[in-house]
Amino acid sequence: MESQSTKEHKQESSDNINCGIITLSDSRSKKEDLSGDFLENEIKKRYNLTSRTIIKDEKNELINAIEEMIEENVDVILTTGGTGLDERDITVETVEDLFDKKMDGFGEIFRYQSFLEIGSGALISRATAGVYKKCCIFSMPGSLNAVKTAANIIIDELPHIVHHAQK
């Protein structure tokens, strides 16, 4: 099913990818961050985890965390939490204002896969992704099941995505 050009791009891509994780939560500590733990374990299987932080659901804290990771040469930032409909959920608006390019496919595929798993509750998901300063940012809900769904979509494809984002 994979096209010849996609195969060629993947061959040109590298698994030497630096990743960062940002968990947004007003209540969780690192000890309680099961979604962040899952992502950390998945990333370390193939890539480099160079940064991980937990911040409050605050726009300026999120922007600062993203900028710091980019300064540390992170290629991919995975955010968990803050994508819901609550007033404090600021992740989507914050990252989408930063994006130079949006990757609509991630949110679309995530919501479709979520619909297959949980039904119409997937309608409230606002998962999003894009590129900012040649860094790929994927923002997903904070629940462990949602993070597992998102990881299944993106982890294997990261070399290909980063290759294009950094051209």
- All structural domains of the chain, each given as residue ranges with its CATH number in brackets, are 16-26+54-165 (3.40.980.10)
The two tokens of residue 96 are 């989408």
| Model pLDDT, residue 29 | 73
| Beta carbons of 76 and 105 less than 8 angstroms apart | no
6 compared with 79, residue with greater pLDDT: 79
Q: Which contiguous run of DSSP H or E holds residue 92?
A: helix 91-98
| 31, pLDDT greater than 80 | no
How confident is the model over 154-158, as a mean pLDDT? 96
Is the CB of residue 20 less than 8 Å from the CB of residue 77?
A: yes
How far is it, in rounded angstroms, from Cα 17 to Cα 162? 8
What tens digit of pLDDT does each residue of 42-85 get? 999 999 999 999 999 999 999 999 999 999 999 999 999 999 99
> In the structure, what pLDDT confidence band is assigned to residue 9 with cuts at 50, 70 and 90?
low
Q: How far apart are CA 143 and CA 125, in angstroms?
A: 11
- CA 33/CA 98 separation, integer angstroms: 25
Give the separation between CA 101 and CA 109, rounded to whole angstroms. 17
